Amino acid sequence: MIHTRVTIRAFVVANDKLLVIGGQQGDFMAIPGSPIFKCVRSEVVYSNVYMLDDGMRWKELPPMPKPDSHIEFALGEC
């Protein structure tokens, strides 16, 4: 099951499958006045990889070799 309190995840579609990759819980830097981004004393970075299967269930895949967050990006066809 996907950790629901993880705040930053990368989402990608590959081979018509939705994958959720990595993530982070906690922030070292607070955003003044934000009810969400408060300064915490710890930060956890995850290496989990999940795939939404054809039955609309999340399947946990082998983890990334190194935990990471803020890895979202976009690719397009040329």
37-46 residue pLDDT tens: 666 666 788 8
How is the chain split into domains, by residue range? 8-61
| Interatomic CA distance for residues 74 and 37, integer angstroms | 25
Q: Specify the DSSP class assigned to residue 2.
A: -
Kindly report the pTM of this predicted structure: 0.67
Q: Name the more confident of 44 and 18.
A: 18
pLDDT in tens, 19-78: 988 888 766 666 677 776 666 666 788 889 999 999 999 999 999 898 887 776 655 554
Look-up: residue for tokens 């939404």? 52
Rounded to whole angstroms, the Cα distance separating 32 from 43 reads: 18
Taking the C-alpha atoms of residue 64 and residue 35, their distance in angstroms, rounded to an integer, is 31
The sign of the CA dihedral 50, 52, 55, 61 is negative
